[in-house]
Structure 1
Amino acid sequence: MSDFIPGQRWISDGEAELGLGTILNVDFRSVTVLFAASQETRTYSARQAPLTRVVFGSGDHIESAEGVTLTVDDTKEVDGLVIYIGIDAAGEWHELSEAKLSDRMQFNQARDRLLTGQVDRNDWFDLRFRTLHHHHRISQNPALGLAGPKIDLIPHQLYIADEVSRRHAPRVLLADEVGLGKTIEAGLILHRLLLTGRAERALILVPDSLTHQWLVELLRRFAIEVTLLDERQSQAHGEANPFEAGQLILASQQWLFANPHRQSQAEACAWDLLIVDEAHHLDWTPEETGPGYACVERLAAVAPGLLLLTATPEQMGLESHFARLRLLDPDRYHDLERFRAEEAGYVRVAEAIDALDALPGDAAALDTAATVIDDADSRALLDTLADPESDSAQREAARTQLRDQLLDRHGTGRVMFRNSRRHVGGFPERRLHVARLDPPSAYRRVLRKLARDEDSLDELLIETGLDHPDVMLYLDATYRALDDDPLNGEPWWQIDPRVTWLLERLTEMGRDKALVIAHDRRTATDLAEALRVLGGVHAPVFHEGLTLVERDRAAADFADAEDGSQLLICSEIGSEGRNFQFCRHLVMFDLPQHPDQLEQRIGRLDRIGQRHAIEIHVPVFADSPGERLLRWYREGMDAFSAPHGVGSELFDAFGDELAESLLDDEALAEVIDETRALFDAKLAERNAGRNRLLELNACRNERADAVATAIRELDADRALPRYLDQALDIFGVDSQDLGGELLHLRAGPQMLDGLPGLVKGEEGFTATRSRERALARDDVQHLSWEHPLVREIMERILDGTLGNTALALLDHPAIPPGRVLTELVFCTHCPAPTHLHVDRFLPPTAIRVLLDESGANLADKVSFTGLAKNLQKVKKAVARDLIKSRHEQLRDLLTRGESEAERELPTILEAAQSRMRERLDGELTRLQALARHNPSVRQDELDALRDERAALDTAIEGARLRLDAVRVIVTVDKETRR
């Protein structure tokens, strides 16, 4: 009983999280302790209470119940209670009884935990040190933020993601052609910005038909969880702003654009990044602004970062393209006529860049290049390139620098990234298969009536309620409108030869899958019924009348390689956004009227990564408007061979004439000739001007290769599996090797709560460290240093107390028993706002100090790994007794260790500042030079970079050391161990 006195302060060995306890009562059998901070009371056996007395020594910091902090100078004992004598921040001396210590004093620091007898397992200490080491190493890898996502390492995607995500508040237009991966680029940019702390909140606006696809894509490829917001979810929040329900919000454009109240709520939030998919649907002219455009314009004005995604930036005309750029930078793009003039001048720049390859030795090429060079630095590079006496290395360096300067300084390359298929390469062949069918008699009657005279066409339009030229092109819809009587009428699919033709094609395809697209929703649903009745083929249907879940279910059934459907039947909506590249057969049951829609259809299959030729099957009725439309596509613009990017301009120019010529072969021939002439001219213009500049600037292979190399190094990092094995074991995660480089992870019975993807009692998930394996299966996660589970484990270790104290025994013949070594791990601490991403230059850096009893530092002579493998564990009760018996000695060694570590700090900080200045000064110099030539460099970008440099300089200069972990090592011999 004499060991415990009311008012003394003790902590629980088994429940240290209860905080500082106060002895309330004690008798011969029990002791009662109040843990006021956690409002808990415990009663223990007086003889074997798992408690440790808390006594602070000279130099320790303590806090009174009134919140006054003292530095302990001395102590005395009065009636069994310790009285602390210390000095406060104002230099005043105080005496403080231990009974009046703050109940909320935390023992998180390694020093406090060690001296109060709280020690962890040795393997926890080892894991903590290794976590510091790996975090330091990974934080400085140039691929950080790009290595974790489940993606192929495609150069142009990596270059764009790396270039854009390095910028302050990036505002760019991602405009790659269909199938080149704009969604992946946006996901990579978002992932890196989130991982590095440069963005915390993002609003993602996509077409309604793509919301669920984005949700799944972000989760599966990038492990990014977003909140999908719609009206039902919004109403569930009552009066609260639903856009505050999560950090990352995904919403339908149609829903938000039609709801002014929800728009105002979205605009009231602080977004770091706004992402808008299918941005070409935003309507704007100098005279009128559409509601969608106006909404995005207001949101873009308050969000520092903006990503606009569109595959057709110029196809809808220069005015529409200008409207997109105007959202990115309204100050730079404010005058449409001035923009037209700038666009015309890009031809000269493209010609100058091409001329560089002819130097030296070509006087005409020299003159061409000189016409766009207007500063001394560039002129000096041109002189070096043109000088026949320069060696090849000098000329190649000058050519590269000059080319990069011209690309940086001219055109919209800083705000717009556009890769084309011809520039990227590696795409499959497209093969067109046309089936010329005889129309049934009912269709022939309609065609004869249409050909009779214009009055007949007008009558038919009135009679059917269809639009022109739909009534001519979609004969099944016309037939339905005229004869759709459920009692007497014969369904169109019973007379339409395209249905039996399709059944025959399916038989020829064997097990190959086919995507079928029809213009009309009713046609798609009727066709599915026809295939079921006539051929016993059950096919899911995908159309705008289905819910998102129903659409996803249909797409998933089609995607299932083993048991899924052979075909999927879509209305026109099936040609927007979805990726069906696992399929190589596309059946166009009819033809769309607009070239962009035609390309959208083909683009569902013809995407980067497609390994087979695309087989395009088109049935047409002989001598019908549909066959004439096919001729216009094939002969007027080679629409089926490859995407050309000028279809919208051609349709704007000849769409009306085309509609009028669908019943007249001679008139059609004229339209085709005129279309072809404009098509050839537009391609020549595109190849010469802005698009040529954009293609040259959209992927700089040297940068892309460097990023890909850094990612492959992280993929092959042998330290990751070793680290994971130890970490998963300590955190209580069960790991089962499934073979084939696959692991199944699930929560073990002792798992720490809150680990991503793991819940006790649930199945867990399958993962692999192989990028190739992960890409092959949607249900397999990619385990990397950036995986949420790995990041959470590392953050918990670094931010918490796990493993920051330990005690071990060492049996070594050269060291007498009873000696004490202290292994101290100090860590740089650099408080700074997360958006500065100071870890790029000064991640938490460990300094290891190993002191013997004399205070000599043995760290250089004894490695961490070499020492750790010779240490032996000790029971906690023994460890506490050893620490209690060596209190004063340990305090002295802790103080000496701090002095040893402080000697290394200046060198670490100097190296960090040097790295920061080299990188940011170089970028600032480049941007300042660029701003003199290219107004796309915003002033706020320059100011932000200067501010960032100054803030980083201050933060790094103010970095200090903190004791992160300490291990006491006591030497023993075999007899002592026994």
Structure 2
Amino acid sequence: MSDFSPGQRWISDGEAELGLGTVLNCDARSVTILFSESQETRTYNTRQAPLTRVAFGAGDRITAADGWQMTVDASRERQGLIIYQGTDANGEPCELPETKLADAMRFDQARDRVLTGQVDRNDWFDLRFRTLHHYQRTEKHPALGFAGPRIDLIPHQLYIADEVARRHAPRVLLADEVGLGKTIEAGLILHRLLLTGRAERALILVPDSLTHQWLVELLRRFALDVTLLDESQSSALEEGMGEGNPFDSGQLILASQDWLFANPARQRQALAARFDLLIVDEAHHLDWSEEASGPGYQCVESLAADIDALLLLTATPEQMGVASHFARLRLLDPERYHDLERFREEERHYAEVAAAIDALDSVAESDDAKARVEVVIDDHESRALLAVLANPEAGAEQQDSARARLREALLDRHGTGRVMFRNSRRHVGGFPERRLHTATLALPSAYRRVLRRLARDEDYLDELLIETGLDHPDVLIYPDAMYRALESDPLNAEDWWHIDPRVSWLLERLSDDGEDGFAGEKVLVIAHHRETAEGLAEALRVLGGYHAPVFHEDLSLLERDRAAAAFADEEDGCQVLVCSEIGSEGRNFQFCRHLVMFDMPQHPDQLEQRIGRLDRIGQRHAIELHVPLFEDSPGARLMRWYDEGMDAFSAPHGVGSELFETFGDTLADALLDDEALDDIIGDTRAMFTAKLAERDAGRNRLLELNACRPERAERIIEAVRELDDDRALPRYVDRALDIFGVDSKDLGSGLMHLKPGPQMLDGLPGLAKGEDGFTATYRRDLALARDDVQQLSWEHPLLREMMGRIVDGTMGNTALALLGHAAIPGGRLMAELVFRTHCPAPGHLHLNRFLPPTAVRVLLDESGANLTDKISFTGLGKNLQKVNKALARDLIKNHHDKLRGLLTQGESEAERELPTIVEAAETRMREQLGGELARLRALAEHNPAVRDAELDALAAERAALSEAIEATRLRLDAVRVIITVDAEG
């Protein structure tokens, strides 16, 4: 006689996603089920139907077809159908026949699934429990967001990223010198904010020439997929979306500044897209004055007013002087930086603070040192610390602690250190030597003829400027440009590169394998003008047979990338890359050590940017700087000013902009006059020396001290290394890859190759079916040495995806196993229950740093005895035997009532653990945020860079976190039913 009756509710064991089914009709041989929610009908053989009857028990909450809910107290059966009895949401008694259950009811919770006989594999259950454990551990780890990126562990970069990313809506200027890793710092901050939930959407604006470099860096180093927007892409998206906003097409949008700044309509769309974070590279290009501002500045100002978090990047924050620097700070906090003159006055005060910090080491021995500190402190706590430091009877350990705390207070409370981070090479250290090589060449007659006439005729310069259309002093510094501009002169019939001895000098060096030659080595050549670069590349091809790609501003992005890639290729790449001045911004060529400056740039910052393409972190060789000069020429005189006036070729000094602002005009007039040049060089050198002393004593000194605090940086590095060396990671990865169907092959030397297996689950990052997969390693050094090798970490997208599917889904949340043990009689029931903390809170609160999803395991036998502390998860798992699903469903049916009782008792057992978990999380939160809030409030009394909005947000965050933690509840996450069997069986 059939167990099926029309109207009964069943679910498919093999297709649980079909939802709740209803028996339409049945006979002795078949049964037809309608799954209304998925609009599917199935017919099964009654003897082998993979179906489970849905029957709810006391305590279960069920939903009626018309939406109301009831809590089941009891049930009765009539004519083969179940009628549930219980109470509705108002506590009123009610009944609900199973025929009127909601078709949309899902059985994805562990309790529902196990009671309806839906069980997964035991290894899935095992992986789920371990995933919860590792997820809890890594989510609150201090290195979260920093362990995954493929970067060297460089202290100042990690310190800045940690300091900025922990703030609410950070707004800072990243102003490290060229080559110190501002892009990496911005990427680390972005990565951390995304992983912690503090940001979900970011807009990244960079110069057009750097868009693809940023795209590649974010993908290769940080595994971040970015949508690159330009006009054609935006138009295509609008066409596909039908009047949609192209800035809504991705979470991370990368766009060219040139494009967006020139397009007000696109700017309005960017504003409407509601980003959490704005990143602007090369921010010194944003024009501003007290009278007016350029379109780029206006665009960023508008976006920055609407977007909470802002990162501005520039290696030359004062390239256009103090006003230009003030303009950047004004974008970060217009209320704090609203008066330029007041800002100038504050700058003058920083020397006293820097002197006080330097004096801390000698306070105990010198009254003068103590006086220098007393001048800049005005609070009780700092005076108490100074008293300890000056007390000769205080112990060394006590004095060291007081000195460290007072130093931190002085750095925190003075200057722009909270909004600006600037590291210099001399502060960071470890950079290669720079070696200058000059070659003096004879002027060709075509160049010499013009210069001689200029020397004889003062009015000829004005005529030349009109005739050539060049600016002063370009017409003097770049003779090849002047030659090209005078093409109507019958004496200028040949291409300039045929008559310019710098070309033959370069050709000789390229083939010379001697001490001064470049044979077999990469050479980067930079010239000021695009036309010079193009002509030089042509000359190298025609006269020397060299293929030299050209990199200049008129190339498309793809063409620039091809040129850079051809130069970077070690085996088949070209020896020479020729760049116009644009090649000295953004692109990094630290694999090369020879830089040829075919001519001199006019601005010291441009000179430093040129050298900075090679002189970067990661450069392992001395930088060889080669400069061909024409004897007694304006270019040679400009070279003298750089070398003798400011020592510009030995190291970056950061004062070139101020020197150029002071002497630029008179220098231009002295490029034909050696005597006047000598005077300018002398004056420049004097100002250079004074500025260095002022910098060492003033704001820059404070910024350097504040931009990396070594002890804290080292703690971050240790935390990252702890995750790098985590022995649990490879074990977990092996289990997860096996379960998700990914094939792994050991290649030796710390490398493995991952590729899709025949049964791989869909949608795993980097493992599209039909493709070859990727090579990976757990070692950071191997991943850094090879671009084709990915570093596996807890933050790798593949790991995040697998863990996310488990934590957020149903995979492994039920299982059934047999336990054979000599000390346990057969036929008994045990339930292994895993509960998980549930605390819904907005992502921006980053609750997981204090209370990530936390597993509570409860192991009960059928008598209700709690065996959790006696039998470990691992110990139990070693003795379990798997069961096929058909037998598992039968066993659950046979123990249905006992299992319900254990589930109910397990909740009570787990609830006893909850207060301890909540109290520990609340304590961690209050210690961290309470201490930070107290520190910021104290800072706000001395340093106006601490915004009221930041204080208010932190206080609100603490209150919201406290409320969320207090509301934490436990919910059943996974159930494993265990049936004991005789040890022999």
TM-score, L = length of structure 2: 0.98
- Structure 1 residue 162 corresponds to structure 2 residue 126: no
CA drift of 1:736 comes to 2.0
In the TM superposition, what are the counterparts of 1:555-954 in structure 2 within 5 Å? 555-954=564-963
Deviations 1:485-544 (A, max 9, x none): 999922221222211211222222232211111111111111111111111111111111
* 1:12 and 1:52 in contact (8 A); partners too: yes
Letter of the 1:258 partner, please give it: A
For residue 787 of structure 2, give the secondary structure of its aligned residue in structure 1: coil
- Structure 1 residue 396 corresponds to structure 2 residue 400: yes
For residue 58 of structure 1, give the secondary structure of its aligned residue in structure 2: coil
Letter of the 2:211 partner, please give it: T
For residue 761 of structure 2, give the secondary structure of its aligned residue in structure 1: coil
Deviates more, 1:616-625 or 1:741-750: 741-750
- Structure 1 residue 422 corresponds to structure 2 residue 431: no
Q: How many residues align?
A: 976
- For 2:307, which of 303, 309, 313 is the aligned residue? 303
Structure 1 Cα separation of the partners of residues 365 and 166 of structure 2: 39
- For 1:528, which of 526, 537, 546 is the aligned residue? 537
* 1:174 and 1:310 in contact (8 A); partners too: yes
CA drift of 1:31 comes to 1.7
Deviations 1:45-80 (A, max 9, x none): 222111111111111111110111111111111111
Residues 223 and 45 (structure 1), Cα distance of their counterparts in 2 relative to 1, 3 Å cut: same
- Structure 1 residue 294 corresponds to structure 2 residue 322: no
Structure 1 Cα separation of the partners of residues 591 and 880 of structure 2: 55
Letter of the 1:459 partner, please give it: E
For residue 342 of structure 2, give the secondary structure of its aligned residue in structure 1: helix
Q: Give the equivalent residue in structure 2 for 1:543.
A: 552
For residue 752 of structure 2, give the secondary structure of its aligned residue in structure 1: strand
In the TM superposition, what are the counterparts of 1:109-124 in structure 2 within 5 Å? 109-124=109-124
Structure 1 Cα separation of the partners of residues 462 and 934 of structure 2: 67
* 1:449 and 1:457 in contact (8 A); partners too: no
Q: Give the equivalent residue in structure 2 for 1:281.
A: 285
CA drift of 1:438 comes to 1.2
- For 2:366, which of 362, 365, 371 is the aligned residue? 362
* 2:834 and 2:973 in contact (8 A); partners too: yes
* 2:326 and 2:343 in contact (8 A); partners too: yes
Structure 2 Cα separation of the partners of residues 51 and 900 of structure 1: 33
Structure 1 Cα separation of the partners of residues 356 and 587 of structure 2: 40
For residue 102 of structure 1, give the secondary structure of its aligned residue in structure 2: coil
Structure 2 Cα separation of the partners of residues 603 and 278 of structure 1: 14
Letter of the 1:13 partner, please give it: D
Q: Give the equivalent residue in structure 1 for 2:217.
A: 217
* 2:284 and 2:319 in contact (8 A); partners too: no
- For 2:324, which of 320, 327, 344 is the aligned residue? 320
- For 1:252, which of 246, 249, 256 is the aligned residue? 256
* 2:822 and 2:983 in contact (8 A); partners too: no
Residues 484 and 137 (structure 1), Cα distance of their counterparts in 2 relative to 1, 3 Å cut: farther
CA drift of 1:413 comes to 0.5
Letter of the 2:971 partner, please give it: R
In the TM superposition, what are the counterparts of 1:99-110 in structure 2 within 5 Å? 99-110=99-110
For residue 509 of structure 1, give the secondary structure of its aligned residue in structure 2: coil
For residue 454 of structure 1, give the secondary structure of its aligned residue in structure 2: coil
For residue 33 of structure 2, give the secondary structure of its aligned residue in structure 1: strand
For residue 250 of structure 2, give the secondary structure of its aligned residue in structure 1: coil
* 2:414 and 2:942 in contact (8 A); partners too: yes
Letter of the 1:466 partner, please give it: L
CA drift of 1:585 comes to 0.7
Deviations 1:743-771 (A, max 9, x none): 22222222211222221112222222111
Structure 2 Cα separation of the partners of residues 620 and 315 of structure 1: 26
Give unpaired runs (5+ residues) of structure 1.
none
Deviates more, 1:461-470 or 1:150-159: 461-470
Structure 2 Cα separation of the partners of residues 375 and 472 of structure 1: 59
Structure 2 Cα separation of the partners of residues 464 and 302 of structure 1: 46
Q: Give the equivalent residue in structure 2 for 1:243.
A: 247
Deviates more, 1:883-892 or 1:234-243: 234-243
Structure 1 Cα separation of the partners of residues 205 and 490 of structure 2: 42
Q: Give the equivalent residue in structure 2 for 1:500.
A: 504
Deviations 1:396-437 (A, max 9, x none): 111111111111111110111111111111111000000111
CA drift of 1:243 comes to 1.3
In the TM superposition, what are the counterparts of 1:225-236 in structure 2 within 5 Å? 225-236=225-236
Deviations 1:1-49 (A, max 9, x none): 6121111111111111111111112233322111111111112222211
- Structure 1 residue 268 corresponds to structure 2 residue 272: yes
Q: Give the equivalent residue in structure 1 for 2:68.
A: 68
CA drift of 1:262 comes to 1.1
For residue 37 of structure 2, give the secondary structure of its aligned residue in structure 1: helix
Structure 2 Cα separation of the partners of residues 18 and 695 of structure 1: 62
Structure 2 Cα separation of the partners of residues 500 and 869 of structure 1: 77
Deviates more, 1:704-713 or 1:40-49: 40-49
- Structure 1 residue 445 corresponds to structure 2 residue 454: no
For residue 695 of structure 1, give the secondary structure of its aligned residue in structure 2: helix
CA drift of 1:975 comes to 5.6
CA drift of 1:594 comes to 0.9
For residue 177 of structure 1, give the secondary structure of its aligned residue in structure 2: coil
Structure 2 Cα separation of the partners of residues 661 and 252 of structure 1: 39
For residue 587 of structure 1, give the secondary structure of its aligned residue in structure 2: strand
Q: Give the equivalent residue in structure 1 for 2:469.
A: 465
CA drift of 1:279 comes to 0.8
Q: Give the equivalent residue in structure 2 for 1:410.
A: 414
Deviates more, 1:829-838 or 1:90-99: 90-99
Residues 804 and 486 (structure 1), Cα distance of their counterparts in 2 relative to 1, 3 Å cut: farther
- Overall identity of the aligned pairs, in %: 76
Structure 2 Cα separation of the partners of residues 492 and 265 of structure 1: 48
Structure 2 Cα separation of the partners of residues 234 and 158 of structure 1: 35
Residues 781 and 74 (structure 1), Cα distance of their counterparts in 2 relative to 1, 3 Å cut: same
Q: Give the equivalent residue in structure 1 for 2:2.
A: 2
* 1:484 and 1:491 in contact (8 A); partners too: no
* 2:821 and 2:983 in contact (8 A); partners too: no
Structure 2 Cα separation of the partners of residues 195 and 975 of structure 1: 50
Deviations 1:130-161 (A, max 9, x none): 00000111112111111110111000001000
Structure 2 Cα separation of the partners of residues 456 and 339 of structure 1: 45
CA drift of 1:241 comes to 1.8
* 1:909 and 1:957 in contact (8 A); partners too: yes
For residue 432 of structure 1, give the secondary structure of its aligned residue in structure 2: strand
Structure 2 Cα separation of the partners of residues 257 and 119 of structure 1: 58
Q: Give the equivalent residue in structure 2 for 1:151.
A: 151
Displaced runs of 4 or more, over 6 A: 484-488
Structure 2 Cα separation of the partners of residues 466 and 940 of structure 1: 50
Structure 1 Cα separation of the partners of residues 341 and 461 of structure 2: 42
CA drift of 1:315 comes to 3.4
* 1:484 and 1:490 in contact (8 A); partners too: no
